[in-house]
Amino acid sequence: MEEKQPKVSKLEKIADEDLKTIQDSKLAFDIVALNTELAVAKKNSAYLEHQNVLLRIYLKYGLSESDVINHQDGSIKFSKEEK
């Protein structure tokens, strides 16, 4: 059976508990949205830090961008061009 909703005129306002429910759900959404933005910013920061570490190590060892460092054992695979 379909529940009948009370009819309200356009001048009335919603119940305080319904307003609070709306406000609470909006606040929860805003918090999740901010946490998501923070997570994305932290991810980008970590990525840039990783790139910076790689750049410093490549410079330290005189490597080119064509050379590859194995991140598991530290070995270097040099590009085909002679050094």
Per the structure, the complete domain to which residue 66 belongs is given by 16-77
Give the whole-angstrom CA distance, residue 53 versus residue 71: 12
* pLDDT-derived band at 46, boundaries 50, 70, 90: very high
pTM of the shown model: 0.66
pLDDT at 1: 62
User: Does the residue 4 lie in any domain?
Assistant: no
User: Does the residue 21 lie in any domain?
Assistant: yes
User: Does the residue 60 lie in any domain?
Assistant: yes
User: Does the residue 20 lie in any domain?
Assistant: yes
User: Does the residue 3 lie in any domain?
Assistant: no
Give the whole-angstrom CA distance, residue 52 versus residue 50: 5
* pLDDT-derived band at 8, boundaries 50, 70, 90: low
User: Does the residue 6 lie in any domain?
Assistant: no
User: Does the residue 9 lie in any domain?
Assistant: no
Q: What is the pLDDT of residues 57-76, one digit of tens each?
A: 999 999 999 999 999 999 99
| Number of domains present in the structure of the chain | 1
User: Does the residue 67 lie in any domain?
Assistant: yes
**Phi, psi dihedral angles at 63 (to 5 degrees):** -85, 155
